[in-house]
């Protein structure tokens, strides 16, 4: 074993100087995109184990062979503290000990190598939380508190959720997340690596999960890895998927799980100690690391997406919600009660939402409030929701993701909000609310896809699922259905050479009609009861003006108007907007292209169309070349009238 000075673990040398040296942690985390094979188990000289007998003394033990599980301990462990019998201590990296108190406070201690650090007023601890921690001193909850090798605190709380917390010693502030519900049946949790959590159910079944706090992802599926763990009343870990299980009779057993092979090592279950009948036992969680053994994701580079299209949403209360990302990287939004032109569309920036990029996504929640998400330039998704229908927006929350392109949203069966996007390897990741208006559970990898990146297109289904469409290599679109938290197979829409995104309209029978740009011409395809045939039909109509031809640039936007006819809006290569529609609802023939603004102004973005059924019309959103937002209402004759706008304050 080679020393690397990363944590608590140095051997206590029984010599003339009876000082225990614990090196201070200076953490520098470098994420790796792909786990290296084979991974290397790397431990400090020893694994530090803190033991509190019933008399309240704290002793420091050093296990000299944490890699192999040999029963070799440094002799004569020193007493480094007294009076710990009324608290629940948990070791953290860097000599830190968190201790839950009977009065509800959480204390933070730090061992420097020869003494406890002194804080304000001469105390050997600082109180970092004043209430709510008393439960972890009780028998029911003392095993539901743990700290991982990154110093993050995990708890199972009375609400049944697994919680995550990080304490910033510089700002003295907390970051807190509810990770996932349904953990009330786990009577013990122990961290054993970066976000690696082992959870024991009441019947002794042992499960393993890994949470990546920075991206807020689950890394791989959670799985049961063993049973029979009800025989242990304490389980501690020095990191790297090594567990020390302690039975009520004081016997301590060493176990090591190999996450690459998905099985326990042959040496697992070794007896390494006796007489560990204590008030509390905890191990320094960063004593061992598994270099290259964890699939830690990297933060991707987000390509610049200036002048991206806007997002529009029509709510059940008849509000039109309009959002876009301006040139300053702010997500701005406005709500309009009607589109006749009598009301002014007043924009405001969502609080602390910048810097973001691309196209936002809007979805209505069960209570009539709207949830807005957009992609930060740092690859973290931002989210904000109205406090009340058409009310103020909450300060943006970071939702992680590590996505290079803007995500999409939909409302699933039961009222849960769903977010989906592709990572830089074109794998599909989804994040859903645990229930209506509840927190989001972590991002979960659903599937490898045949896609080639970019933003998806999403169409909600009547059954409460979502159809997802994206482009694959060679410019071929594919579609799959996400329903009941499962993704169906991907199906090719046929054809090659398409550009941009596909626009899709849900038809009354549940099928889709899709529209896409191929060599400057909009092509369309209608799904049949048996799926897509792969045959695209060009919309190469003339324009209403025989002297004007339309070469399409960018992605079309299609919508079913209140009349039942599909309307399609495009940005021409000349910078003007054009629209066309079915001559009658359901017809294969479309009307000639018409200039939407009658030559009044050019657009700087692709258009976004939206039906407004209560007013028997439809609208188009875009921004001018000077980044000025526009919303125009369909007019049967002439140019679409522009709805008055009030611009956001700059």
| Cis status, amide bond into 38, omega within 30 of 0 | yes
Contact 523, 474 (CB under 8 A): no
CA distance 232 to 206: 11
pLDDT for the residue 556:
98
- Give the global pTM: 0.91
Residue 647 — very low, low, confident or very high, per pLDDT cuts 50/70/90? low
**Does 56 have pLDDT greater than 90?**
yes
Question: How high is the mean pLDDT of the chain?
Answer: 91
pLDDT for the residue 495:
97
pLDDT for the residue 92:
98
* Per-residue model confidence as pLDDT tens digits over 388-431: 999 999 999 999 999 999 999 999 999 999 999 999 999 999 99
pLDDT for the residue 7:
41
Determine the average pLDDT of the residues in 52-74.
97
**Does 10 have pLDDT greater than 60?**
no
pLDDT for the residue 237:
98
- Going by the DSSP 8-state scheme, the letter that residue 301 receives in this structure is P
pLDDT for the residue 96:
98
CA distance 409 to 482: 12
Strand partners, 138: none
**Does 4 have pLDDT greater than 60?**
no
Residue 6 — very low, low, confident or very high, per pLDDT cuts 50/70/90? very low
Determine the average pLDDT of the residues in 627-649.
83
**Does 338 have pLDDT greater than 60?**
yes
Whole-Å CA distances, 208 to 35, 149, 224, 267, 342: 18, 16, 6, 19, 59
**Does 5 have pLDDT greater than 90?**
no
pLDDT for the residue 649:
56
pLDDT for the residue 650:
52
* Per-residue model confidence as pLDDT tens digits over 435-460: 999 999 999 999 899 999 999 999 99
Half-sphere exposure of 53 (CA within 13 A, CB side): 10
Pairing state between β 153-156 and 476-483: unpaired
pLDDT for the residue 3:
32
pLDDT for the residue 648:
55
Pick the CATH number of 311-646 from 3.40.50.880, 1.20.1250.20, 2.130.10.120, 3.40.47.10: 2.130.10.120
CA distance 530 to 84: 69
Determine the average pLDDT of the residues in 214-242.
96
**Does 36 have pLDDT greater than 90?**
no
* Per-residue model confidence as pLDDT tens digits over 478-495: 999 999 999 999 999 999
Give one word for 464, left, alpha or beta, with left for phi > 0 and alpha for psi -120 to 50: left
**Of residues 641, 599, 595, the one with CA closest to residue 618:** 641
Domain range summary for the chain, segments of one domain joined by +: 40-153+232-291, 311-646
Which of 220-234, 486-500, 557-571, 634-648 is the least confident region?
Answer: 634-648
pLDDT for the residue 447:
84
Residue 322 tokens read as 């309009």
SS3 of residue 413 by DSSP: helix
**Does 285 have pLDDT greater than 70?**
yes
- What radius of gyration do the chain's Cα atoms show? 30
Residue 245 — very low, low, confident or very high, per pLDDT cuts 50/70/90? very high
* Per-residue model confidence as pLDDT tens digits over 71-93: 999 999 999 999 999 999 999 99
Q: Which helix (H) or strand (E) holds 492?
A: strand 491-492
**Does 646 have pLDDT greater than 80?**
no
Residue 543 — very low, low, confident or very high, per pLDDT cuts 50/70/90? low
* Per-residue model confidence as pLDDT tens digits over 581-601: 999 999 999 999 999 988 889
């Amino acid at each position: 074993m080679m020393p690397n000075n990363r944590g608590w673990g140095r051997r206590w040398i029984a010599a003339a100087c009876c000082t225990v040296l614990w090196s201070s942690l200076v953490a520098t985390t470098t994420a790796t995109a792909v786990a290296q094979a084979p991974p290397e188990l790397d431990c400090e000289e020893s694994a530090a184990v803190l033991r509190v007998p019933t008399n309240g003394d704290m002793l420091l033990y050093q296990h000299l062979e944490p890699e192999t599980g040999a029963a070799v301990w440094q002799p004569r462990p020193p007493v480094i503290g007294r009076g710990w019998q009324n608290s629940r201590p948990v070791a953290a990296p860097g000599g830190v000990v968190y201790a839950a108190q009977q009065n509800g406070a959480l204390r933070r201690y730090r061992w420097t190598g020869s003494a406890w650090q002194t804080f304000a007023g001469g105390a050997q601890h600082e109180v970092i939380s004043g209430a709510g921690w008393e439960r972890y001193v009780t028998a029911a909850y003392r095993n539901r508190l743990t700290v991982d090798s990154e110093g993050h605190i995990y708890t199972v709380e009375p609400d049944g959720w697994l919680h995550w917390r990080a304490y910033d010693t510089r700002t003295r502030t907390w970051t807190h997340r509810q990770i996932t519900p349904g953990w009330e049946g786990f009577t013990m949790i122990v961290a054993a690596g970066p976000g690696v959590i082992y959870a024991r159910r009441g019947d002794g079944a042992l499960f393993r999960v890994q949470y990546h706090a920075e991206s807020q992802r689950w890394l791989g599926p959670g799985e049961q890895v063993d049973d029979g763990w009800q025989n242990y009343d304490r389980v501690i870990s020095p990191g790297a998927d090594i567990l020390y299980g302690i039975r009520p009779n004081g016997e301590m057993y060493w176990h090591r799980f190999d996450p690459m092979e998905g099985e326990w090592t042959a040496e697992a279950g070794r007896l390494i100690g006796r007489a560990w009948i204590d008030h509390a036992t905890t191990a320094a969680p960063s004593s061992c690391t598994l270099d290259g053994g964890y699939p830690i994701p990297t933060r991707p580079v987000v390509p610049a997406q200036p002048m991206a299209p806007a997002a529009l949403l029509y709510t059940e209360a008849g509000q039109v919600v309009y959002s876009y990302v301006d040139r300053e990287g702010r997500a701005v939004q406005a709500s309009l009660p009607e589109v006749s032109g009598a009301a002014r569309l007043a924009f405001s920036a969502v609080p602390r939402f910048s810097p973001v990029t691309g196209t936002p996504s809007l979805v209505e929640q069960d209570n009539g409030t709207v949830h807005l998400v957009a992609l930060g330039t740092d690859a973290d998704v931002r989210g904000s929701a109205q406090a009340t229908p058409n009310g103020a927006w909450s300060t943006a929350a970071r939702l992680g993701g590590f996505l290079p392109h803007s995500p999409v949203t939909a409302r699933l069966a039961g009222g849960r909000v769903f977010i989906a996007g592709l990572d830089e390897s074109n794998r599909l990741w989804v994040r859903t609310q645990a229930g209506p208006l509840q927190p989001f559970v972590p991002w979960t990898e659903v599937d490898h896809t045949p896609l080639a990146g970019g933003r998806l297109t999403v169409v909600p289904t009547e059954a409460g699922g979502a159809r997802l469409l994206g482009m694959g290599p060679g410019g071929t679109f594919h579609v799959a259905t996400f329903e009941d938290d499962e993704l169906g197979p991907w199906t090719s829409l046929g054809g090659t050479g398409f550009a941009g995104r596909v626009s899709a309209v849900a038809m009354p029978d549940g099928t889709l009609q899709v529209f896409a740009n191929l060599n400057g011409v909009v092509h369309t395809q209608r799904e049949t009861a048996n799926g897509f045939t792969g045959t695209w039909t060009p919309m190469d109509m003339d324009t209403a003006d025989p002297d004007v031809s339309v070469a399409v640039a960018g992605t079309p936007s299609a919508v079913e108007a209140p009349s039942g006819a599909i309307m399609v809006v495009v940005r021409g290569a000349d910078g003007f907007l054009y629209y066309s529609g079915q001559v009658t609802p359901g017809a294969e023939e479309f009307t000639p292209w018409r200039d939407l603004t009658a030559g009044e102004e050019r657009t700087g973005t692709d258009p976004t169309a939206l039906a407004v059924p209560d007013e028997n019309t439809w609208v188009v959103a875009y921004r001018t070349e000077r980044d000025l937002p526009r919303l125009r209402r369909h007019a049967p004759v002439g140019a679409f009238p522009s709805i008055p706008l009030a611009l956001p304050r700059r």
